[in-house]
Amino acid sequence: MLGLADDDKLRGLLAEVGRGDAAALARFYDLTSPKLFGVILRIQRDRGLAEDVLQDAYLRVWQAAGSYDPAAGRPLPWLCAIARNRAIDSLRRRGATEVQRPAEDDSEDWVARLMDPHDDATAFMDRDALSTCLNRLEPMHRDCVVLAYCEGYSREELAQRFDRPVNTIKTWLHRALAALKSCLETVS
Amino acid sequence: MSGGGGEPAPDPDLRAAEYVLGTLDASERAEMDRAIAVDPGTASRVRAWERRLAPLLDAIPPASPAPRVRAALLRSLPGAVPAEPDQLAALRRQVRRWRIVSAGAGLLAAGLALFVGVGLRPGQEGGRYLAVVQGGGTLPALIVRVDTRTGTAQVRPVGAETPEGRALELWYVGAGGPKSIGLVEAASSRVALPAGASPDGAIAVSVEPPGGSPTGQPTGPVIYSGKLIPE
């Protein structure tokens, strides 16, 4: 996975992409596409559609690289935000009912994996704070947040999975997000 | 479940959080996209939530996309034309894309090519046209004054940046495709237009090897462009 050491390289490439350098975009793609495709594929399970989303995300990078502000954050989260938005748009446009999800989805797993310091240590502080705060949430509320963020669950899909009315899910999400925010402010 | 009545206006921060989480429906997302584009407060709330939740993505395993995605991406880049036999068709496609892009330019923070969208009145008696040629920056790259009566153009560089070790080549893009009208010089210069150049064209600038395109067609990415408007 890409660590902080690669950030400077990615920033440099983004600057070149911003000047219209297609070869720089190709290098940027080679470095980041496996991570990005992983993120997209968790949300958009249809491989063909996920590949469309991937291409679309890099086209957006091509257009927006000039406006990427290194002060606004690390390049990889910036890129992931673009990809997640595209992936979720592709789901929501198709409506909530068609998504096929494998049975082994387990949000518990994500929180556990969050704790695993497998790559760069610099992001670990953030990750540590987030997993601490996620673990303080009501388990079902936390699962809603993680399933929505990592797997693209809609409110309706969460309602179905937890067998609750959609309005209850909305309330859970709002409570969980508000609690998460105030916890992150004190922990980090 | 709150009992009946109108729902209270959603808390802007929770709205931003749900946008990032992905649980808004399509119309709510579109509404947020508009708000992000015009309201810095909304944009910064969204960025803050992206930062808070991003560590969750660390846990997601990478996956390899099919190689054809990379090839298709590089073929589809507006403004970058890879070594491809039919440069002309590629540039025509590109011009079409610019038009599409410029239609949505309000939403694009930095489009590759922003047209100066002023209606053309061909056959205007003066025969003098102006193109403000620009990329994504705040300064125009070049100002090109075209005089169709004399068949010449005055090229005035403003903020054009030439990548190191490369040259910038100017193209007149008309119905017949791109025609080279010379390299961008450091100082103002006068260049001859291709025969039959009409005012409903555009001026584009591509990155080329020193000395200019070896093929007579753009070979590198088009980094600046602008449409001719009557002066």
pLDDT (0 to 100) of residue B96: 55
Measured between CB atoms, which of B23, B26, B29 is closest to A148?
B23
Residues of B in contact with A130 (CB under 8 A): 52-53, 55-56
Q: What is the pLDDT of residue B140?
A: 73
pLDDT category of residue B216 using cuts at 50, 70 and 90: confident
Q: Residue A152 and residue A92: Cα distance in Å, rounded?
A: 9
Of A63, A80, A181, the CB nearest to B111: A63
Q: Report pLDDT for A141.
A: 95
Chain A interface includes B59 (CB < 8 A) = yes
A112-161 pLDDT, tens digit per residue, is: 666 565 555 445 667 788 989 999 999 999 999 999 999 999 999 999 99
Q: Given the structure tokens 């063909």, which residue do they identify?
A: A48
* Chain A residues closer than 8 Å to B59 by CB: 110, 113-114, 116, 150
Q: What is the mean pLDDT of residues B4-22?
A: 82
| Chain A hits for B110, Cβ within 8 Å | 18, 63-64, 66-67
Which residues of A are less than 8 Å from B63 in CB distance? 34, 37-38, 41
Q: What is the pLDDT of residues B55-76, one digit of tens each?
A: 898 888 899 999 999 999 998 8
Position A172 scores a pLDDT of 97
Residue-wise pLDDT tens digits, B14-58: 999 999 999 999 999 999 999 988 888 999 999 999 999 998 988
Query: Which residue, among A44, A99, A177, A184, would best test binding to B if mutated, counting the most B CBs under 10 Å from its CB?
Result: A177
Contact A34 B135 (CB under 8 A): no
Domains of chain A (ranges; CATH) run 5-94 (1.10.1740.10), 107-187 (1.10.10.10)
The partner residue sitting opposite A178, judged by closest CB among B2, B14, B82, is: B14
Q: Which two tokens stand for residue B43?
A: 């944009």
pTM: 0.61
Q: Is the pLDDT of residue B103 over 60?
A: no
> What percentage of chain A reaches a pLDDT higher than 90?
61
Give the whole-angstrom CA distance, residue A70 versus residue A79. Answer: 12
Rg for chain B, CA atoms, rounded = 23
- In chain A, residues with a C-beta closer than 8 Å to the C-beta of B29 are 88-89, 92
Q: What mean pLDDT is predicted for residues B123-144?
A: 69
Cβ separation B223–A73 shorter than 8 A: no
Residue B113: pLDDT above 50?
no
Residues in Cβ contact with B206 at an 8 Å cutoff, skipping those fewer than 6 apart: B81, B168, B169, B171, B213, B218, B219, B220, B221, B222, B223
pLDDT bracket for residue B194 (50, 70, 90)? confident
Strands (E), chain B: 128-133, 142-147, 152-157, 167-174, 177-183, 189-192, 202-208, 222-227, 229-230
- Tell me what pLDDT residue B80 has: 57
State the burial class of residue A72 (Cβ atoms within 10 Å of its Cβ: 0-12, 13-18, 19+): middle
User: Which residues in chain A touch residue B57, judged by CB atoms under 8 angstroms apart?
Assistant: 39, 77, 80, 150
ipTM over 0.85: yes
Give the residue from chain B lying closest to A179, CA to CA.
Answer: B14
Residue A47: both structure tokens together = 């491989």
Which amino acid does the sequence have at A166?
V
Question: What is the predicted pLDDT for the residue at A126?
Answer: 74
More confident residue, A19 or A178: A178
- Residue A93 pLDDT > 90, yes or no? no
